[in-house]
Each structure stands twice: as structure tokens, then as C-alpha cells.
Amino acid sequence: MNDIAIELRGIDKSFGLVHANRNINLTVRKGTIHGIIGENGAGKSTLMSILYGFYQADKGEIVVDGKVVTIKDPNAAIASGIGMVHQHFMLVENFTVLENVMLGAEDSQILNTSIAKARVELKRLEKEYALEVDPDALIEELPVGLQQRVEILKALYRRADILILDEPTGVLTPAEADHLFRILGQLKDQGKTIILITHKLREIMAITDEVSVMRRGEMVATRPTAETSVEELAELMVGRRVLLRVDKGEANPGPVKFSVKNLTVRDARGVTMVDNVSFDIRAGEIVGIAGVAGNGQSELLEAISGIRKAVSGSVDLNGTPIDMTGNADPRDLRNRGLAHVPEDRHHVGLVLKFEESENAILGYHHDKRYLNGVFLNIDAIRADAEEKIQKYDIRPPNARLRTANFSGGNQQKIVLAREMERGPDVLIIGQPTRGVDVGAIEFIHKRIIEMRDQGKAVLLVSVELDEIRALSDRILVMFAGRIVGEREPDATEGELGLLMAGVEGRKEAAE
Amino acid sequence: MSNPYAKLPAWAEYGLIPLINLVVAFLVAGLVVLLVGENPLKAAYHMINGAFGRGEYIGFTLYYATTFIFTGLSVAVAFHAGLFNIGSEGQAYIGGIGVALACLWLDKTMPWFIVFPVAMFGSILFGALWAFLPGWLQAKRGSHIVITTIMFNFIASSLMVYLLTRVLKPLGSMAPQTRTFAEGGQLPKLDWLLSIFGLDIGNAPFNISFLLAILAAFGVWVLIWRTKLGYEMRTMGHSPSAARYAGISEPRITIVVMMISGGLAGMMALNPIMGEQFRMQLDFVQGAGFVGIAVALMGRSHPAGIIPAAILFGMLYQGGAEIAFEMPAISRDMIVIIQGLVILFAGALENMFRPAIGRGFASFGQRFPVAAQRGA
Ligand SMILES: Nc1ncnc2c1ncn2[C@@H]1O[C@H](COP(=O)(O)OP(=O)(O)OP(=O)(O)O)[C@@H](O)[C@H]1O
Ligand SMILES: [Mg+2]
């Protein structure tokens, strides 16, 4: 028997002038977990999209199970036993789990009989792979971790032997990620082959058998995971040594620049998401907010940046009190020196259909230097964008490219460049490195610390506890809408974990 | 993968796909003609000949096109801000009041080139005011613009019946219309423009509001892509959440954009009132506001697409009338069916052939990678 699941030979793909994949060769062995890493824009997603039939390669062959196949669309991929779990799930929100799993794979025209069959099959799969989900739950009511499980079930239901996961942990909490890895381990034990794309080298080290590294469209190395190290992988990816630790000096906090006072925020359904929160940030200090996703951090960020109305509370920005219950205007806040890198760059921080240069002025489009009277000064806008592209090494360096065509990490740099280059007094950052490669993480972390050292007040929200601990000068822990504790950055992971789970906090609050 | 369709070169996106859609629409229309036992080739001949066969026919085609450029621009401007203004019909109708008042006031004392700008101002003012109300209702009260603008079309229609039977009608006249304007209320024809091409305009009412329409198209392009307001509109149209983040006030943009859209619709009234009938009649808009929706869809909301789309619909109107005249078995309603098919294929089903064309390009690219790359 052949023990090669997939072999790619000489795959080549260009989008216009962007050469996304160059003569790629890749061999994935059956029954292994194969990691693929590479900088943002290295071409990982493109390669997997070719394997899954979303794009056609310009050149090259795909060999599945020893046979050369043409994969002209995702149906052909599924027929060859290849399934994919997308970074952005492709589920019908108001369908049940069962309906989603069988959608498009109904094996009879009569829906009732196929529903009954599907239910039996789904139960079997759930048992076999320990992937419990309630088949009758609506997708929109499930947390992301479970939605992802449904995506996996969908692939298994279609008898996939090879499963591709593109950055599956980007949206998961650490506990959910652990659970996912246990599932992947189980799938591997059952003989499935898994291809895993991720930016988190720790994950690569923890669960893969082999790892391949891409750089600027090329496959530069493949290593057995046991024979490599995080440092070596980072260097292979970026082409130079990468500082994986954050190098930061002592903080030099000055006077209070930004304070939040008794802020309460409710969501659309009237559930209290932020509950009477108050804190200060000083000039030259990074305050990190740690917490499991969904404990009010997002609503807090939206309220203090003026996007969402608060029920009560105010902020003090540079000594000016601003009421947050009325129409706090994001424009006004910006003028007073507040910059905001939102968590959701796709829907909030960027307009994906705009050219890069148009996004580089979003929110600052009133600035005189981008205007001639009521007209846009296109030359000035583009020149400004080019400058930021240079400075932040945004790739490809094309200010006229549609923002949707930049890779995730480069999109994040577009937002960061816009907000940081303004020299704001207060910088609010949500998930600065979500979906961003190690080289860019190093760069972004350096910038954040630079901002601090220039005397800015920085508020950092991240679900990555490591990131919070590495960057913050003080850590606030949020649980169920409240700040349940404050710790020094050298607090242990365990200690913070307990606070984040709401265990310690309750005691502290009671005291 | 944010875009489910492969990106096509611009000439395919804006040239090939609309063309294929159009050809299919005409093929299906041909089948309908066959169905009623007439010869589709003959119908096609009358359509083309009726629209372009003579200078006079071309004049009529462009006269209709002028009207559709205004209403198409009106719908397109609102589209860019994510607003679906179905009220261009009513706004054009009310815009007519501005035109009529200016003409009734000045036509006997002033030459056309004084009356025209005043009437233009009036049409914009009245059209914009009529669009302001739905805009305001959405911005402040959350009443959806699609619903309110439809209702405002009905209100406009009743209001005009009242005005034309009671207020603006000259004493003693039986027809629901204003008096006929004197010379000052009549726009000069563009006979000289056609005669450059050796064409004779004949009786066609093709007049200088066509030039105004072209100017308005350019103005809309500048507005959308070259002004701060246009930038804010597009941001809101693509992503309301990003607009909120950028501090762009949704109520303000909604109201302003609706007024611009209404003003453009109002300008349409200049063409029939001052260019053809020289008085304001009941129902002078004749559905042009709705055709504007199709024109905007087909023209991809881009002025450079709206002008050819408007000419196409001008051709359908003019050529269609000719078919109905020459081939009695094909009634006016059949022409409406054909127009409907064009709207269906060009608008609602515009993506139908896209995947196939995308695949065609992909395999072409494999065989001729260099050529394809340059094309992209
Ligand atoms: N549809 C497209 N049109 C034009 N360029 C594209 C398109 N899709 C991807 N690209 C470009 O191809 C290159 C590879 O992109 P790809 O998404 O494969 O990167 P990636 O390795 O997955 O990056 P990330 O880690 O940020 O997800 C990038 O330069 C990107 O801008
Ligand atoms: Mg990717």
C-alpha cells in the first residue's frame, strides 16, 4: 500500500502580477498531521484553495492516493476524499446542526428519509470521533468552538479522509483550542490525514508530525517536527532570526491620560455586557485586559471608542470628561487624540472593497491634508499610503490594490499603520495579532512598546494570554462584564487563569 | 475568498458580461415573438431600424435616453450609499412643479437660456424636497426607505392630479395640464449635433437637456469618486459598521444622499416638459423612474455604464414603439415583456453566466499564461 495521501507537484499560481505559489512540491503522508506555516501572504491559503478546488493552478499536478486528479471545484475535492474547514465558517446560521451537515449531501430526493438516515450517520460519527454536538441545535446559538466542530462533522459526513484546516484556532479560546487538538489527535489515530495551517508555532510543535514552511510563494523546507525547534521554524519563515520574546524596558508612567468611569454597556437584547467598570491608564503605560472571549471586552472597546452607546458612564480623555451615554462621536474622540484598532478588521476597521489607499484614511478623511476643499486630494492620499506601506512593510506594496486581496496579516498592518502613524495620545488595540505571522507579531509588538515609550497611554485587549503578559505593565482581568482583579505582568498563568474563570475574582470582590 | 467569483479583466466585467446578458435577453425575447407566431428577425429589424434607422429615430432614442440618464443617475447615487431609492418616479413628477412654475413665471419675458437654469434649480429643489421626507423618516424614525419611497410615489401622483385639475390648469380648459409655454419655456433642439453626423432631426424632441444629462453624469462621477461626501457615501454603502467606526453620521448621509438622488430625478422633468410638450401634463414621467432602476443596475451604478444603458433603454422604447406600429400582432405589452427580460438578465440574473466565463478565462490562462496575465 501507498502511504502517501497527497502529493503536489510543481504547483504554480499567479493573481495578475502577484505570484502567489511558485513551483510548489509537497508530500503529505497518510495518517499524519502535517503543519504548514509561513508569513502572511506566503501563499498558504492559496495553495489549500487549489487543493480544495476553489482556484485552479496555472501549472502542476495534484496526486491523491497515487492517482493524478484534476480538482475543478470543491465537489471534485470532496469526491477525492478531501474536506476543508474554512477560517470563516460556511454554515447556514438559522439551520440546525443536522440540516447543515446534510446540506448538499442529501442522498434521496425525499427529505424525510434522508434526514432520518443522516441522523443515524451523524450519531455514529459523533461517537466514533468524540465530537458531541446536539444535532437539533441552531448554528447561531452555538459558540464558535462548536460551530467549528460542525464544520469538521460536515467534512467527515462526506467521507473525507484528508482534512484541511486553515487557521482553525484563530477564533478559539485556549480551552476550545485544546479540545480541537484532542479531536485532531483522535482523527489521526483513526487513520485520517490532516493538514493544519497556523501561525502559532507552539501548536505546530504540540501536534504535528511534519511541518512545511512557505516563504513568498515558495516551499522552502519540510521538517519532521521532532527534529526542529520554534526558533528554527521562525527563521525559516521569515528568512532572518526572529525575536520571539518581547524586549521591553521599564515602564515610566506619567500622569493619567485616560480613565473610564462607571461604564455600563448592554447589548441589543438588553443583557449587561459591561458592568460598572472603572480604570485609569497613565501616559507611558500599557494596560492589558485579559479574559476569556465574550466577557465584555469587545463591548468595552466599542463603548469607549464611541461606536456603541453606553447605558451609563463617562471617560476622561486628556483631561476632558466625555459622557458616553449620548452620541459620543468617534470623530470627536479621534480629534482629541484617541486612536482605535478594532478587533474586527474585516467589518469595522476596513472596507474590504476599497483600495488600500482609501482605507489608509478611514476615519481621518476630514484631515485637511487629504482634501482640496470638498474634493479628495487623491495624490496626497496615495503618497501618504505609499509611505505607510514602506514603513510597515505592507505586501504587496500596492496602494491601489483592493484591500480584500491582501492577506490577513497585511490587512492588520494597514489598520495599525493608520492608527499609529497619527501619533495619538491614547491607543486602544483589540486583538493586535490575530491571524498575524511571527515576523509581523514581532514588528507589531515593537511598535506598541515604542508607542508606550513615547509616552502614550495604551489599552490592549487580547485573548492571547501570552501576548497580554508579554506586553502589559499592568493586567486587568475581566469576567462576566466586571474587572475582577488587577495583577502585575509576572503573575503566573495559573493565577490569571483562575481569575479569568471567575473563581478567584468572586472571593476578591467579596472581601 | 471574500469574492465567490474569480476576478475578471475589466473589459470582460464591464463589456463582455453585459453583452452576453443582453444577447440572451434578446434570444429569449425572440422566442416570445415566435410564440405569438411572428418572425423574430423581422421584429429585430424593426427594433433596430426604428431606433437608429433615420436621424429622426435617433433623435427620439436619445430623447428617451436623456430621461433615463437622469433617473438612472438618481438611483445609482443612492445605491452607492447602500440606499434603494424606488421613489425616483415620484421625485421626477414633483420636480416637474419646479420646472412648470419657472416657465409659467418667466416664459413670456425671458429667453430660454435664462428660464432653463431657473427651471433646473426649481426641478432640483422640488425633487430634493420630495426625497428629503423619506430620507428624514429613515434617518430619524427608522421607516424603511424602500417602503416610504413607494408610498411617496402614490402621494406624488395624487398631489399632481389635484394640482393639474385645480391649481395649475388655466381657467376654462378641460385638459389636466398647464397652459402651453411661450418661446422662453421651450428648449432648443440639438439638430446641429445630429447634423454634424449628417443626420436630420425631423420632429424628434431631442434637446439640450441631453447635454445637461451628460454633465450631470460627469458630476456624479466626481461626487462619488472624488469628493469627501462620496467617500463617506461609499463607506456607508459597503460597510455600515466601518462607517460608524469612522465617525460617519448615517442619518446625515442618508438625508443628504436622498436629496441629491431626488434632485437628479427632478431634473428629468426638464426634458419632457421644456423639451417636448412645452407644458406640464398628467403622468409625464411615464415610468421613467422605474426604468432608472434597471438602467442603474445594468450600468453598474457607474456613470460611464449608465449612459450606454440609458441609450439601450431609449432604443427599446423608441424601437419598441416602431415594432408595435409595424407588426400589429405584437402589442405594446409585448414590448414591455422584452424590456422586462432585459432587466431580468441584465439586473437580477447578472451573475448567471459569470462562473462559466470565469472558468473560460481560467482555462485560457492555462494555455496562454502570458496573454492572460497581461489582460488581468
Ligand atoms: N483573489 C486574489 N486576487 C489577487 N491577489 C490575491 C488573491 N488571493 C490572494 N492573493 C495574494 O496572493 C498572495 C498569497 O495570499 P494567501 O492568502 O495565500 O496568503 P496566506 O499565506 O494564506 O497568508 P495569511 O497567513 O495572511 O492568511 C498574497 O500576496 C495575496 O495578496
Ligand atoms: Mg491565509
Residues B98-115: tens digit of each pLDDT? 999 999 999 999 999 999
Helices A408-420 and A438-453 pack at an angle, to 10 degrees, of: 10
Closest by alpha carbon to A478, among A430, A433, A434, A511? A430
pLDDT at residue A505, as a whole number: 52
Contacts of A349 in chain B (CB under 8 A): 242, 245
Query: What 3-state DSSP class applies to A78?
Result: helix
A302 and A214, same domain (yes or no): no
User: What cell numbers appear for B16 in the block?
Assistant: 463582455
- Domain membership flag for residue A443: yes
Hey, is A434 helix, strand or coil?
A: coil
pLDDT band at B370 (very low <50, low <70, confident <90, very high): very low
Note whether residue A193 is domain-resident.
yes
| Last residue in a domain, options A171, A204, A238 | A238
Model confidence at A321: pLDDT above 50: yes
Reply yes or no on whether the pLDDT at A507 is more than 60. no
In a domain, A123, yes or no: yes
Strand order in the sheet with A210-215: A82-85, A162-166, A193-197, A33-38, A210-215, A218-224
d(CA A239, CA A220): 10
Least-confidence region, from A205-214, A405-414, A421-430, B358-367: B358-367
Across the range A106-121, mean pLDDT stands at: 75
Residue B96 has phi, psi (to 5 degrees) of -60, -30
All residues of chain B having their beta carbon less than 8 Å from the beta carbon of residue A347 are 239, 241-242
Q: What is the sign of the dihedral through the CA atoms of A47, A49, A53 and A57?
A: negative
Q: Closest ligand 1 atom to the C-alpha of A42?
A: 21
Fold exhibited by the domain B57-328: ABC transporter involved in vitamin B12 uptake, BtuC (1.10.3470)
Mean pLDDT calculated for residue range A119-130: 86
The reply to whether A247 falls in a domain is: no
Q: From CA A47, how far away is CA A11, in angstroms rounded?
A: 8
Which of A207, A238, A269 is a domain's end point?
A: A238
What's the average model confidence in pLDDT over A393-397? 90
pTM: 0.85
Are A225 and A262 part of one and the same domain?
no
Domain shared by A227 and A260, yes or no: no
Q: Residue B348 is placed in which grid cell?
A: 437580477
Nearest to B63 by CA among B373, B337, B313: B313
Cα separation of B30 and A93, whole Å?
Answer: 42
Ligand 1 atom nearest the C-alpha of B3 is 1
Asked, for residue A249, whether it belongs to a domain, the answer is: no
Q: Last residue of some domain: A193, A211, A238? A: A238
SS3 letters across A402-429 = EHHHCCHHHHHHHHHHHHHCCCCCEEEE
pLDDT tens digits, one per residue of A431-449: 998 888 888 898 999 999 9
Residue pLDDT, tens place only, B74-97: 999 999 999 999 999 999 999 999
Higher pLDDT, B338 or A288: A288
Is A251 domain-assigned? no
B17-35 and B40-52 helices, crossing angle to 10°: 120
Closest CA to B362 of B351, B352, B353, B373: B373
Task: Give the residue from chain A lying closest to B375, CA to CA.
Answer: A16
| Spatial separation of the C-alpha atoms in residues B286 and B67, rounded to whole Å | 10
What's the pLDDT at B369? Answer: 43
* B375 or B47, greater pLDDT: B47
Q: Which residue has the higher pLDDT, A297 or B346?
A: A297
State the average pLDDT over residues A152-180.
86
Chain A, nearest residue to B249 by Cα: A329
pLDDT of residue A246: 79
Q: Please indicate whether, in this complex, the C-beta atoms of B376 and A376 are within 8 angstroms of each other.
A: no
A276, A272, A347: which is closest to A307 by C-alpha? A347
Lowest pLDDT segment from A36-50, A340-354, B180-194, B321-335: B321-335
Torsion of CA B45, B49, B50, B55, to 10 degrees: 180
The number of helix segments (H) and strand segments (E) in chain A equals 17, 22
pLDDT higher than threshold 80 for residue B371: no
Question: What are the grid coordinates assigned to A30, written together?
Answer: 497518510
The whole-number average pLDDT for the span B176-205 is 92
Omega of the bond leading into A396 within 30 degrees of 0 (cis)? yes
Residue A29 DSSP SS3 = strand
Picking from B248, B339, B307, B347, the residue whose alpha carbon sits closest to that of residue B18 is: B347
Per-residue cell: B184: 422662453
Q: Which residue of B has its CA nearest to A46?
A: B1
What residues have CB less than 8 Å from B342, skipping those under 6 apart?
A: B22, B25, B26, B29, B294, B298, B312, B313, B316
Place of cell 467589518: A347
Residue B120 has pLDDT above 60, yes or no: yes
Q: Distance between CA A318 and CA A301 in Å, rounded?
A: 18
- Quick check: B242 and A306 CB within 8 A? no
Whether residue A439 has its Cβ less than 6 Å from ligand 1: no
Distance in Å, alpha carbon of A58 to nearest chain B alpha carbon:
5
Asked if the structure places residue A104 within a domain, the reply is yes
Do A90 and A171 sit in the same domain of this protein? Answer: yes
| Full residue range of the structural domain in which residue A500 is found | 256-510
Exposed e or buried b per residue across A360-391, where buried means at least 16 C-beta atoms within 10 angstroms of its C-beta: bbbbbbbbeebbeeeebbeebbbebbbebbee
Q: How many residues does chain A have?
A: 511
B376: pLDDT strictly greater than 50 = no
Q: Is A414 left (phi over 0), alpha (psi -120 to 50) or beta?
A: alpha
pLDDT of residue A173 exceeding 80, the answer is no
Answer yes or no: is pLDDT of B174 > 60. Answer: yes
Q: What is the pLDDT of residue A466?
A: 87
- Extract the C-alpha cell encoding B169: 390648469
Give the pLDDT score at A504. 60
Do A318 and A227 reside in the same domain of the chain? no
Instruction: Please give the tally of structural domains in chain A.
Output: 2
| Residue A106 pLDDT | 66
Q: C-alpha dihedral over B11, B15, B21, B22, to 10 degrees?
A: -160
Of B160, B151, B123, B67, which Cα lies nearest the Cα of B262? B123
A245 is a domain residue: no
Residues A234 and A261 in one domain: no
What is the enclosing helix (H) or strand (E) of A15? Answer: strand A4-15
Q: Please answer whether residues B92 and B71 qualify as being in contact, where contact means their C-beta atoms are separated by less than 8 angstroms.
A: yes
- Residue with more model confidence, A465 or A48: A48
Task: Report the amino acid identity of residue A123.
Answer: K
Question: In this structure, what CATH number is given to the domain that contains residue A419?
Answer: 3.40.50.300
Please tell me if the CB atom of residue A18 comes closer than 6 angstroms to any atom of ligand 1.
yes
Residue B367, chain A, CB below 8 Å: the answer is: no
Interface membership of A354 toward B (CB under 8 Å) = yes
Q: What is the ipTM of this complex?
A: 0.85
User: Residues A203, A262: one domain?
Assistant: no
pLDDT over threshold 80, residue B262: yes
Q: Are residues A180 and A296 in the same domain?
A: no
Give CA separation, A117 vs A105, A111, A113, in Å. Answer: 12, 10, 6
d(CA B186, CA B210): 14
Q: What are phi and psi of B128, to 5 degrees?
A: -65, -40
Whether B356 has a pLDDT exceeding 90, the answer reads no
Residues A187 and A273 grouped into a single domain: no
In this structure, are A477 and A357 located in the same domain?
yes
Cβ of residue A41 lying under 6 Å from some atom of ligand 1:
yes
| Mean of all residue pLDDT scores within chain B | 89
B237-241, B244-248, B304-308, B354-358: lowest mean pLDDT where? B354-358
Tens digits of residue pLDDT in B222-247: 999 999 999 999 999 999 999 999 99
Predicted local distance difference test score (pLDDT) of residue B363: 61
pLDDT of A415 higher than 90: yes
User: Which of A237, A407, A433 most suits a substitution to test ligand 1, by most atoms within 8 Å of the C-beta?
Assistant: A407
Please say if the pLDDT value at position B5 is more than 70.
no
Chain A: give the shortest CA distance to residue B249, in Å.
Answer: 9
Q: pLDDT category, A84, cuts 50, 70, 90?
A: very high
- pLDDT tens string A20-38: 999 999 999 999 999 999 9
Binding site membership of A46 for ligand 1 (Cβ less than 6 Å): yes
Contacts of B234 in chain A (CB under 8 A): 351, 354
Q: Which residue has the higher pLDDT, B248 or A105?
A: B248
Same domain, A233 and A273: no
- Name the residue with the closest Cα to ligand 1, atom 9: A405
* pLDDT (average), residues A336-360: 94
Find the B254 Cα to ligand 2 centroid distance in Å.
36
Q: A51 near A7, Cβ under 8 Å?
A: no
Average pLDDT over residues B266-283: 96
The pLDDT, as a whole number, for residue A430 is 93
Same domain, A203 and A348: no
Looking at ligand 1, which residue's alpha carbon is closest to its atom 1?
A405
Report chain A's mean pLDDT, rounded to a whole number. Answer: 90
A385-390, long-range: CB < 8 A, 24+ apart: A385/A356, A385/A357, A385/A360, A388/A360, A388/A414, A388/A417, A388/A418, A388/A421, A389/A356, A389/A417
If one residue of A13, A17, A18 were mutated to test the ligand 1 pocket, choosing by the most ligand atoms within 8 A of its CB, it would be A18
Q: pLDDT higher for B4 or A35?
A: A35
